[in-house]
């Protein structure tokens, strides 16, 4: 096990090359994400093979609280490795215990990209020293456990487009015929996006981050992070912040106005972003969260209904694995987290 020197550009480049090329690699495990999460400290853990090459890695974010409260350790979509390799997992978990002692942590949480049906991998993670409670609802975990994903490996744009439901193909073509234009923009268009996002949040009753947060994403994730906007007759109708990292493109934030829905901007926007994923040979386009996909009576069920028309599949992840270092603090702070919302840690 090795804790990388975060001030060494060569070490960070080696780490990023590994994460960016690994099937489980994600922008949430990238050095750029640390710079976005500026209110957190961080550490890069790596495990090396006999030849000295990285064979496993994990970004651990460290949230410090005012004394005397202990720290919180969190690895979003980590670790990145063969999750059934006991030696690599043991190595990385050893690094977590070192960090827990250094930062006086009460708990470590990780949410690796493993689906709930993958019993062998879940058991391997538990054997490595992590505990696991299956079936936790999304409001009790930091990252949404239910995503909608579109597999792209080995597929052409024609293959993908023809697989969409007929109404979705019609709506994409309709948007083009009506003159809706979807393009990528720089930070100068963030105020337009934020106005759309504010309207969406008010309509659908959720909280949003500050404009500075989205600017930080674009600054620190660089060309991996794109802002897309759809305009109709010069009016911004929908927008998205989308991140492409390694072989996965993630639709992270979306927004839209209630105006001119008849010209179907959201359909064209998704197709434009899927084409970006295809152009760069991504194996997955991740529509991200669908927290209420199993409940047609829920007010937000429409999120799933819209995404499923692109003919992907539901990915239900196992959720969070953890190590508790201070059970007394855990009981108290779990109540605090439940009150302020787990999304504060995402």
Token readout for 168 is 């979705």
Q: Which of 113, 180, 177, 139 is nearest to 318 (CA)?
A: 113
Beta bridge partners of 73: 62, 108
- What's the gap between Cα 86 and its chain centre? 26
Q: Is it the case that residue 344 has pLDDT exceeding 60?
A: no
Q: Is the peptide bond before 96 cis (omega within 30 degrees of 0)?
A: no
104: tokens are 């006086």
CA distance 296 to 55: 43
Together in a domain, 309 and 185: yes
* pLDDT for position 14: 97
Q: Any residues with CB less than 8 A from the CB of 184 and at least 6 apart, and which?
A: 226, 227, 228
Do 202 and 128 lie in one domain? The reply is no
pLDDT (average), residues 76-83:
97
For residues 243 and 206, the answer to whether their CB atoms sit within 8 Å is no
Angle at 242 between CA 184 and CA 274, to 5 degrees: 80
Q: Give the CATH number, domain containing residue 228.
A: 3.40.630.30
- Domain identity same for 153 and 284: yes
Q: Give the rounded distance of the alpha carbon of 209 from its chain centre.
A: 15
**Residue 134 and residue 176 in one domain:** no
Residues 92 and 172 in one domain: no
Contacts of 259 by beta carbon, 8 Å cutoff, 6+ apart = 235, 237
Per-residue 3-state assignment (H helix, E strand, C coil) for 35-62: HHCCCCEEEEEEEECCCCCEEEEEEEEE
| Least confident piece of the model among 130-139, 267-276, 315-324 | 130-139
40 within 8 A of 78, measured Cβ to Cβ? no
What is the pLDDT, as a whole number, of residue 334? 67
Mean pLDDT of 307-328: 94
Residues 87 and 157 in one domain: no
Please name the residue that has the structure tokens 């305009």: 231
Looking at residue 342, its pLDDT comes to: 47
Asked whether the predicted pLDDT for residue 335 surpasses 70, the reply is no
* Statement to judge: residues 134 and 16 lie in one domain: yes
pLDDT of 144-161, one tens digit each?
Answer: 999 999 999 999 999 999
Same domain, 25 and 121: yes
Q: Which pLDDT score, from 0 to 100, does residue 330 have?
A: 67
Beta-bridged to residue 289, according to DSSP, are 147
Q: Are 310 and 286 in contact (CB under 8 A)?
A: no
At 149, phi and psi to the nearest 5? -125, 150
Same domain as 243, residue 185: yes
Nearest by Cα to 230 from 196, 206, 275, 201: 196
- Count of the separate structural domains present in the chain: 2
Q: For 196-263, give the DSSP string.
A: HHHHHHHHHT-----HHHHHHHHHHHGGGEEEEEEEETTEEEEEEEEEEETTEEEEEEEEE-STTGGG
Quick one: pLDDT at residue 201?
A: 94
Both 286 and 326 in one domain: the answer is no
The whole-number pLDDT of residue 326 equals 85
The answer to whether residues 272 and 247 touch, using CB atoms and an 8 Å cutoff, is no
Pairwise pLDDT comparison (214 vs 206), residue with the higher score: 214
Q: How far apart are CA 259 and CA 150, in angstroms?
A: 28
> Is there a single domain that holds both residue 112 and residue 253?
no
Model pLDDT, residue 79: 98
* Contact yes or no for 1/95 (Cβ under 8 A): yes
Structure tokens at 329: 């603090």
What DSSP element (H or E) covers 323? strand 321-324
What average pLDDT does the segment 87-91 reach?
97
Percent of the chain whose predicted confidence (pLDDT) is above 70:
95
- 187 lies in the same domain as 257: yes
Domain ranges, residue 156: 148-316
pTM for the predicted model, two decimal places = 0.93
The pLDDT of 277-296, averaged and rounded, is: 95
* pLDDT, tens digit (0-9, with 9 covering 90-100), for 113-145: 999 999 999 999 999 999 999 988 888 888 999
């Amino acid at each position: 096990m090795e804790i990388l020197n975060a001030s060494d550009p060569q070490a960070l480049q080696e780490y990023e090359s590994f994460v960016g090329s690994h099937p489980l690699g994600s922008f949430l495990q990238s050095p750029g994400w640390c710079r976005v999460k500026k209110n957190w400290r961080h550490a890069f853990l790596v495990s090396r093979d006999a030849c000295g090459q990285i064979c496993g890695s994990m970004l651990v974010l460290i949230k410090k609280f005012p004394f005397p409260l202990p720290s919180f350790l969190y690895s979003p979509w980590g670790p990145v490795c063969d999750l059934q390799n006991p030696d690599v997992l043991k190595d990385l978990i050893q690094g977590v215990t070192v960090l827990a002692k250094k930062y006086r942590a009460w708990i470590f949480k990780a949410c690796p990209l493993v689906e709930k049906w993958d019993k062998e991998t879940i058991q391997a993670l538990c054997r490595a020293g992590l505990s696991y409670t299956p079936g936790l609802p999304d409001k009790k975990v930091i990252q949404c456990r239910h995503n909608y994903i579109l597999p792209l490996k080995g597929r052409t744009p024609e293959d993908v487009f023809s697989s969409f439901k007929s109404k979705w193909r019609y709506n994409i073509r309709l948007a083009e015929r009506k003159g809706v234009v979807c393009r990528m923009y720089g930070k100068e268009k963030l105020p337009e996006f934020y106005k759309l996002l504010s309207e969406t949040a008010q309509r659908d009753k959720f909280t949003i981050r500050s404009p500075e947060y989205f600017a930080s994403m674009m600054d620190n994730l660089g060309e991996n992070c794109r802002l897309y906007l759809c305009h109709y007759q010069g009016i911004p109708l929908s927008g998205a912040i989308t991140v492409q990292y390694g072989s996965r493109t993630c639709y992270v934030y979306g927004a839209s106005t209630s105006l001119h829905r008849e010209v179907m901007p959201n359909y064209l926007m998704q197709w434009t972003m899927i084409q970006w994923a295809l152009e760069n040979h991504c194996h997955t386009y991740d529509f991200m969260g669908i927290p209420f996909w199993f409940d047609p009576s829920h007010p937000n069920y429409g999120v799933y209904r819209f995404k499923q028309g692109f003919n992907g599949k539901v990915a239900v992840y196992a959720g969070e694995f953890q190590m508790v270092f201070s059970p007394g603090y855990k009981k108290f702070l779990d109540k605090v987290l439940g009150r302020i919302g787990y999304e504060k840690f995402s």
